Structure 1
Amino acid sequence: MKIKIINKSKHALPKYQTALSAGMDLYANIEESVTLKPLERKLISTGLLIELPQGFEAQIRPRSGLAIKNGITVLNTPGTIDADYRGEIGIILVNLSAEPFTINDGDRIAQIIIAKHETAVWEEVTELDKTDRGAGGFGSTSI
């Protein structure tokens, strides 16, 4: 699938790191380093703008290495980029560790996944089909 992209950053286009990767890494496109204090969040620029086809979204997800090693994650995970959005992709990073963390220009800060989705049409009813689970949730099936 081809997706139109404008690269206003000084970095290469996102790419898959392995042949079977689902996500492509996104790079910080910043003029100077940004330090996130513990529990601080900031919007980090990527310099990328995309045009997705109808029926697709781009999901922004954390990088597992940043999460486990440094406590850095994407705050609104997964972030959604809709097919009609034409602005720059920004990544909301948060530092969940007890230590400050510095983001430098060109750092891989998140990953983007292109996913197909359906457009739902609500059918308002007064009753839903019964299931074994019923209304049980929030741990009702096990610990």
Structure 2
Amino acid sequence: MQVPIINRSRHELPSYQTAHAAGMDVRANLEEAVTLKPLQRALIPTGLFLEIPVGYEAQVRPRSGLAYKHGIGLVNSPGTIDADYRGELKVLLVNLSADEFVVQDGERIAQLVVARHETVEWQAVEELTETGRGAGGYGSTGTK
């Protein structure tokens, strides 16, 4: 699949780090480093502008290494970039650790996964089909 992209950053395009990776790493495009204090969030620019095909979305997800090593995640995870959005891709990072974290220019801050999606047309009904699970949720499976 080919996706049109404008790169106004000083960095390479998002890329897969291994042959079978689902997500491409996205880099911060900063004039100066951004310090995230504990529980602080910041919208980090990437300098990238995407033209996602209709019927697809780009999902912005946390990088597992940043989450594990530094407690850095995304506030809205996964974030969705819709096919009709043409603004800059920005990543909403949050520091969930007890320590400050410094985001450097060029640092890999998120993953980008492009995925197909369906468009739903709701069908209003009075009843839903029965299942073995029924209305059980929030930890109800596997218990009796």
Q: Which ranges of 4 or more aligned residues in structure 1 deviate by more than 3 Å?
A: none
Tell me which amino acid in the other structure corresponds to 1:109.
I
Aligned 1:31-50 pairs, distance under 5 A: 31-50=31-50
CA distance in 1, matches of 2:96, 2:52: 32
Distance 1:47 1:37 in 2: 24
Q: CA deviation at 1:75?
A: 1.0
Cα distance in structure 1, aligned partners of 2:137 and 2:7:
44
Provide structure 1 residue ranges, at least 5 long, that are not aligned to the other structure. none
How many residues get paired? 143
1:105 and 2:102 aligned: no
Long gaps (5+) in structure 2: none
Q: Distance in 2 between matches of 1:126 and 1:30?
A: 53
Could you state the TM-score of these two structures normalised by the residue count of structure 2?
0.98
SS for the counterpart of 1:80 is strand
Between the aligned residues of both structures, percent identity stands at 63
Secondary structure of the 1:89 match is strand
Give the aligned CA root-mean-square deviation in angstroms.
0.7
1:66 aligned counterpart, secondary structure: helix
Q: CA deviation at 1:142?
A: 3.3
Query: Match of 1:118?
Result: 118
Aligned mates of 2:89, 2:115 — CA distance in 1? 16
TM-score normalised by length of structure 1 = 0.99
